[in-house]
Amino acid sequence: MKSLRFDLIFSYWIFAWFILYLCNITTYSPKFAFILGLIENIFMLIMMIIKGTKNITILYFIIINFLIKVLPIYYLRAETIRMKDIYMTVLLFLIFILWLYVNNISLIENITIIYNSLIYGENKTPFIKFFFKKKEQQKK
């Protein structure tokens, strides 16, 4: 299976939305999307532990998700989740699915690549791949 680009991972779309929100380019808060993403990541972390994923991969996964989900949720902690934010989350996800289709990747294939990358240490997600490349470069 191939590696994924940043634009093929929904979490990075949500983080980009957060940046747009911080810059007052949009009034739709990504807090709801971040919370859903964090819940999904907690389940993924549990699966990684159950399946015996390498500790270094788990550590990288925790660091990445702390930076791109936990810190933004903390920043947005005082915000109220409005229905328009939920609708925007759904709309953005539908656009993401369309983007996958345009790139000849089904949602199921995308999820499978991410799952296998994290659970089995295939390192096919952008930041995990980056961390492992940096680690290899430091060994040389």
The tens digit of pLDDT for each residue in 83-123 reads 999 999 999 999 999 999 999 999 999 999 999 989 988 88
* Percent residues over pLDDT 70 in the chain: 97
Give the Cα separation of 111 and 105 in Å (integer): 10
User: Phi and psi for 121 in degrees, rounded to 5?
Assistant: 65, 35
For residue 69, the number of C-alpha atoms closer than 13 Å in the C-beta half-sphere is 20
* Percent residues over pLDDT 90 in the chain: 79
In a domain? residue 89: yes
Give the Cα separation of 94 and 88 in Å (integer): 10
In a domain? residue 1: no
Give the Cα separation of 93 and 49 in Å (integer): 28
* Among candidate residues 105, 88, 99, the one with its CA nearest the CA of residue 36: 88
pTM of the model: 0.89
Q: Which residue reads 């991969």 in tokens?
A: 57
In a domain? residue 97: yes
Number of domains in the chain: 1
DSSP character string of 21-74: HHTTS-----HHHHHHHHHHHHHHHHHHHHTT--HHHHHHHHHHHIIIIIHHHH
Residue numbers of the domain that contains 95: 6-139
